Amino acid sequence: MKKRILIPIIAIGIFFTTVSFKSDFFEIAKQIEIFTTLFKELNMNYVDEVTPATLMDKAIKGMLEDLDPYTVYWNEQQVEDAKINNSGIYTGIGATAQNRKDKIIIVEPYKDYPADKAGLKAGDEIIKIGSVNIADLQDDAGELLKGAPGSTVDVTYKRQGKTATATITRGAVELKAVPFFKLINNDIGYIVLSQFNRKTTIETKAALVDLKSQGAKKIILDLRGNPGGLLDEAINVVNLFVDKGEVITTTKSVIEKYNQTYKTKYEPVDKEIPLVVLVNGRSASASEIVSGGLQDLDRAVIVGARSFGKGLVQRPKKLTYGTQLKVTISRYYTPSGRCIQALDYWHRDENGDPVRKDSKEYNEFKTKGGRTVYDGGGILPDVELESAVFSPITTALLKDNAIFDYATKYYYSHQMTDSKNFKFGEADFQDFLKFLKDNNFEYETETEKKFAEGLKMSEDDDLNKDITAGYAQLMKAIDAAKDKAIVEKKVEIESLLTDEILKRYFYREGLYNYQIEHNPEILEAVAVLNDAGRYAKILK
């Protein structure tokens, strides 16, 4: 017998008490009533058995999909995951992993944590957890790896075509906001800031104070790849280098209570020490507040590539049964008034894609000292470097795991005991190109997607027979253009391959030590700091 699902009238009453003042209450009540009766009738009368929870999940996704991608519904587990990310501490196997079809791929085992101690390596394919085959599981298989500290879990995995087993003893895992800092060249402090959780300011301040005690007279703050996190931590990190009372960011919304101005609250650690901040296309949100604030206050030179452009502010709202809605409430603006957000999800093109402002339409703004800076989404560095860029073809290679999978191949076919003399040379790059062809890597560009949509439309118009041959020629030309693009973006790709390969042999600590001596962005940051005239000229 089918279940009969009714939404309690009290739920509607609760909804009314939390609706914004700007809403049309009658229209809301009307739409809720329509939805409630539709849901009821569908569940009672549809020809086949339907699952209410599945229907509701799809209804929620449908309601949110035309908004920005950061306004999302979180189930109970996702709420817990968010808490873990913000705290930086959890219990598990100590590795990042990726769900792929019928398996879990170990992306990075953290040094000296449970997965590493059990012998797991990046690229290992977990196919079985305990007695459960991953291929038979529809839910998130990664949940099976979690458990109480000291408990064990048996995993079966494949490595280079061979099957093996391992027993992992779970333990507490601490994700450091500052995983690495070091004094380089006797007077430059280098700090890697990888995320903004509740320990970010404490760890960054401790690293800064430690480096200064070692003799650091200049600082490099590395925010490359930092996806952001807690807003207060971003404000407090800037506060380490600027006076109390400085405006770092403002948020603007059509809802008055979300219009806020965020200022520094404490005395700085050092407001004079020369500072360079590194960013790239994966530096987002809180990273952009830090880099944008320091740039607008003329407190730091920004080096790298334009940041991601995520300037939308979210706030979690509690729902029933432990679930939440993470809803976008406002936009971030830098002290000069620049909007950080790159894509406009409220204005879309004819294909339904969000609009990005054209470079010809970028607006000028002035820093505290009168320098000209521009909007356009993200933070544009004062010193731009090709090696820090993420072009569409490079992004496609990352998305399709081509760089990750090649690094796995490289690791098992090359011996390396010392990273000092490592260089990913021309022969290696040619081998990578051969690897792509041998493994039939297919990375679809936006151009291909649009042409494929056009071909599909031609079938509906009964024109496909006439244009199929031309379409095949077009796709061949695009494939040739993609091959050319890979070669043209060699600098970007080699940099990413180098990083991924070195992590396999020497973990992140080894990678950071190598980058200090070889990475183009770090070397440029050092060059800027060592040239006082150039540093001052950029900031003036």
Q: Which of 121, 199, 310, 482 is catalytic?
A: 310
For residues 317 and 235, the answer to whether their CB atoms sit within 8 Å is no
Known catalytic residue at 366: no
Q: Using CA atoms, how far apart are residues 93 and 167, in angstroms rounded to an integer?
A: 10
* 65, containing H or E segment: none
Locus of tokens 């990664």: 142
Q: Using CA atoms, how far apart are residues 96 and 94, in angstroms rounded to an integer?
A: 7
Q: Which of 194, 283, 285, 307 is catalytic?
A: 285
Known catalytic residue at 22: no
Q: Using CA atoms, how far apart are residues 30 and 367, in angstroms rounded to an integer?
A: 49
Known catalytic residue at 121: no
* 73, containing H or E segment: strand 72-74
Sign of CA dihedral 512, 430, 426, 475: negative
Q: Using CA atoms, how far apart are residues 305 and 520, in angstroms rounded to an integer?
A: 12
* 248, containing H or E segment: strand 247-252
Q: How far is CA 540 from CA 300, 366, 424, 491, in A?
A: 11, 12, 38, 31
For residues 134 and 125, the answer to whether their CB atoms sit within 8 Å is no
Locus of tokens 């679930």: 323
**CB-based contacts of 249, cutoff 8 Å, min separation 6:** 231, 234, 235, 262, 289, 292, 293, 332, 333, 334, 335
For residues 166 and 158, the answer to whether their CB atoms sit within 8 Å is no
Q: Which two tokens stand for residue 202?
A: 């404490």
Q: Which of 68, 124, 222, 296 is catalytic?
A: 296
Q: Using CA atoms, how far apart are residues 323 and 78, in angstroms rounded to an integer?
A: 8
For residues 291 and 303, the answer to whether their CB atoms sit within 8 Å is no
Residues 53, 59, 64, 66, Cα dihedral to 10° = 150
Could you list the active site residues?
285, 296, 310
